[in-house]
Structure 1
Amino acid sequence: MQKLFKNIKGDRLIWAIAALLAILSFLPVYSAASNLAYKGAGSSTFTFFVKHFVHLVLGFAIIYGVHKIPYRYFKGLSLVMIPVVLVLLCLTIFQGKTIDGANASRWIQIPFVGMSFQTSALAAVVLMVYVARYMSKIKDEIITFKGSILPLWMPVFLVLILILPANFSTAAIIFLMVVMLVFLGGYPLRYLAVIIGSGILVLTLFILTAKAFPDAMPNRVDTWMGRIDSFTNPGDSDAGYQIDKAKIAIATGGIQGVGPGKSMQKNFLPQSSSDFIFAIIIEEYGLIGGFVIMTLYLWFLFRIVIVAQKSDTIFGKLLVLGVGLPIVFQALINMAVAVELFPVTGQTLPLISSGGTSIWMTCLAIGIILSVSAKREEIKEKEISEENPLEILSEAI
């Protein structure tokens, strides 16, 4: 165990935050999964607990493995992975499976192992790395709109177009995060305005086409419109029902909560262990529990900003912000949905909600951040060794 901790590099506080979020997820997931067990989705609640534990163990193995890779290699890997991601997204559209009644085009079945994988989550991480690579590459060049269309925006829009029909919220988050990253990378505002306008135009055309020809392609336009309508005009819709139950759970929890495992609304919320787990946390652990979770994500945000600021390269800075900020943004959206500050999106709470793909891709992003942080530590140690060679030699003797 001591040898393992000795091999752990990177920002120790980020390691601690990730571990705390994972540990704090066990009881809420175990409690909320009773609803799925009762409906026959698994043999018992303990089965879901073990499944969640395995997902987290594999996730932290991903963090450990990825953080040992020098982050400069992610430049080349992103170029290789963009075509792979596009192929996987195409396969997902045509071969996607329905998971627990959810949309058929979000998951792809992995042959021989009986597992499913949400390709859009992988696409999001790969695309952010790719954009960070491109913006760092042109940092000393004069940026032209025409010159950036093919190498930068073509892959972005191809990925978004393939994700959009089945998962609008994920496509929207990726687009916003890409816009934020290129802005931080120095992309001219006048060009960004054109890109944002083009994105809105493409989305409008897609919605109009989907409404005019509903059988032409698999899409969830009616679901999106229903969720927005239920948010602006609360009623008896499915999204409105979920929000009502989430608000009841939050109101019931009060300051201290009703206690671990004593949630009542977990029996009525369809996605109590994933999309609405924050409501269950507040019901069982009160506003105190909700505040602790929110503080951990904000602490994580603070640490990734510190890591980015200390990175010795532009690519490192953009890479950390590109893969780190979406984690915090997704967490804030999930919590905002639970308290009805945002329409239902289907976004999970990173490292806390159940679900393999979400956990693994979050861990992949954290591993990349730690890789950048580890490189900074390596440089610092080298500087210290050069300043005090006699002291190091005496210690070795």
Structure 2
Amino acid sequence: MLDRTDRSLVGVWWWTVDRWLLASTILLMVIGALLVMAAGPAVAANIQLASQHFGVRQAIYLLPAIGAMLFFSLLEPRPIRVLALLGLTGTIILMVMAILVGSEIKGATRWITIAGINLQPSEFAKPFFAIVSAWLLTLWREGQDFPGWIYSAVLMAIIVGILVLQPDIGMTFLMVFTWGFQMFLAGLPLLLVIGVVALAPLGLWLAYISLDHVEKRIDQFFNGGAWQVEQARDAFAHGGLLGVGPGDGTVKLHLPDAHSDFIFAVAAEEYG
């Protein structure tokens, strides 16, 4: 058993890491893996793959993810900030490359292939930007003569601009709201933060009138006609408050994306 006098690497890590955050992260990983294992076999059978193809793939992805999480949790704040800055720089470059040479999937060019592996660079931008933005805002709040919030806003504008060009409207909204929440915590006036975040509906309207696939998706959501969305709604209704029970759901048998974009429909039907 580790005590507070243990100055080994593991001992220091154990008494400094946020154990509640660590436990909740591991819990989310386990839940995600279980849901993929539940929804994956039906999807795999429909496309003639091994029954646990998606479950095995999820496990393969989890192993390096857990390793990276533990590695970064051992580091001091300074090297984490430096790595985040380097990572964000590289990610922005990859996001631009995705627009220029990436393949178009469902109306968007947000994926790029590196060494035979398909990557969505904007996924890496989320943690890197959160760390770099927090760093800049901290320097500003510490009273140093450094306009950190301006640099944070410029970085946000660059990333949002690239995301809109891809286009990735969902990720754009997620990044804007994350940044707005950080600005609020940093002490920027609430009305100013609300004003910035309120631009999101304007951005959605501009995307609606200028991007055909965004217009189509929004119209389908409100007016019906999107088959997978309608099936997902039916799954929520079928599951009710308590669900039909683990393994007894039916939506996973015919939804092409039941193991990914619509996995919550599977969870809602079986677990409520």
TM-score, normalized by the shorter chain, greater than 0.5: yes
Question: Cα gap change, 1:13/1:179 in structure 2, threshold over 3 Å: closer, same or farther?
Answer: closer
Taking every aligned residue pair, what percent have the same amino acid on both sides?
25
Question: Cα gap change, 1:77/1:230 in structure 2, threshold over 3 Å: closer, same or farther?
Answer: same
Question: Deviation at 1:183?
Answer: 1.6
Question: Deviation at 1:72?
Answer: 2.8
Residues 1:224 and 2:225 aligned together: no
Out of 101, 107, 111, the position equivalent to 1:107 is 111
Task: Tell me which of the two structures has the higher relative contact order, counting C-alpha pairs closer than 8 angstroms and 6 or more residues apart.
Answer: 1
Residues 1:81 and 2:81 aligned together: no
Question: Deviation at 1:201?
Answer: 6.2
Greater shift in the superposed pair: 270-279 or 86-95: 270-279
Write the mapping of 1:265-304 to structure 2, written as runs, cut at 5 A: 265-285=251-271, 287=272
Out of 66, 70, 87, the position equivalent to 1:64 is 70
* Paired residues, number: 263
What is the aligned-residue RMSD (CA, Å)? 3.1
- Per-residue deviation, residues 219-250 of structure 1 (Å, max 9, x unmatched): xx2222223223333x22x2xx2232112222
Structure 2 regions of 5+ residues with no counterpart? 3-7
Q: Name the residue aligned to 1:132.
A: 134
Equivalent residues of 1:97, 1:105 under 8 A apart: yes
Equivalent residues of 2:85, 2:132 under 8 A apart: yes
Residues 1:52 and 2:42 aligned together: no
- Per-residue deviation, residues 229-278 of structure 1 (Å, max 9, x unmatched): 23333x22x2xx22321122222223443333332111232321122212
Distance (whole Å) between structure 2 residues aligned to residue 7 and residue 190 of structure 1: 41
Question: Cα gap change, 1:80/1:16 in structure 2, threshold over 3 Å: closer, same or farther?
Answer: closer
- Corresponding letter in the other structure for 1:170: M
Q: Name the residue aligned to 1:153.
A: 153
Residues 1:252 and 2:238 aligned together: yes
Distance (whole Å) between structure 2 residues aligned to residue 33 and residue 230 of structure 1: 26
Structure 1 regions of 5+ residues with no counterpart? 212-220, 288-397
Residues 1:185 and 2:191 aligned together: no
Paired residue secondary structure (2:159): helix
Question: Deviation at 1:195?
Answer: 4.3
- Per-residue deviation, residues 131-177 of structure 1 (Å, max 9, x unmatched): 11111001144999xx5686222221111111123210101110111
Question: Cα gap change, 1:148/1:136 in structure 2, threshold over 3 Å: closer, same or farther?
Answer: closer
Paired residue secondary structure (2:216): helix
Residues 1:37 and 2:44 aligned together: yes
Distance (whole Å) between structure 2 residues aligned to residue 31 and residue 190 of structure 1: 45
Equivalent residues of 2:235, 2:265 under 8 A apart: yes
Equivalent residues of 1:107, 1:116 under 8 A apart: yes
Question: Cα gap change, 1:81/1:150 in structure 2, threshold over 3 Å: closer, same or farther?
Answer: farther
Equivalent residues of 1:250, 1:282 under 8 A apart: yes
Distance (whole Å) between structure 2 residues aligned to residue 140 and residue 7 of structure 1: 27
Equivalent residues of 2:207, 2:214 under 8 A apart: no
Distance (whole Å) between structure 2 residues aligned to residue 6 and residue 255 of structure 1: 44
What's the TM-score once normalised by structure 1's chain length? 0.58
Distance (whole Å) between structure 2 residues aligned to residue 279 and residue 201 of structure 1: 30
Question: Cα gap change, 1:274/1:263 in structure 2, threshold over 3 Å: closer, same or farther?
Answer: same
Distance (whole Å) between structure 2 residues aligned to residue 73 and residue 242 of structure 1: 44
Question: Cα gap change, 1:148/1:57 in structure 2, threshold over 3 Å: closer, same or farther?
Answer: closer
What's the TM-score once normalised by structure 2's chain length? 0.82
Q: Name the residue aligned to 1:119.
A: 121
Paired residue secondary structure (1:274): coil
